[in-house]
Structure 1
Amino acid sequence: MAEEHTDERAYRVVVNDEEQYSVWPVDRALPLGWYAEGTEGSREDCLTHIGTVWTDMRPAGLRRQMERAARG
């Protein structure tokens, strides 16, 4: 029987220029183009926060393009 693994690492919420969110371990350097959003905690807590704040999954560039097209 497999032993259950509990992830006890700390994570941070990160965001890129296209306003896309992800989680990243706090003990690792951020990848280029990603910035700490300010929220840190368990992976589950970070994912819950992302679910609350990231309500439009479209990249920012696409949203702007669609808004311009809608205005004509």
Structure 2
Amino acid sequence: MNVFLYDGAIVPDPHGIITGGHDNKTARTVAVREGESVPADPLLAMFRQIIANNRAGGWRRLKAAGG
């Protein structure tokens, strides 16, 4: 399973679940192989942060503001 996180570039990854897109300015990927468990809590935290960032104007506005 691959989860493509658009606007995930400024979201913290303290659990190290991001598997791709580290050099991408806007997006990241979380890949989970068959048989592995989905890192549900860290992934949910990322979703919530992306949603909050979008409600605050999106990653471009936040980066321009120093966020």
**TM-score above 0.5:** no
Larger Rg: 1
- Whichever structure has more strand as a proportion of its residues is 1
The TM-score with structure 2 as length reference comes to: 0.29
The TM-score with structure 1 as length reference comes to: 0.28
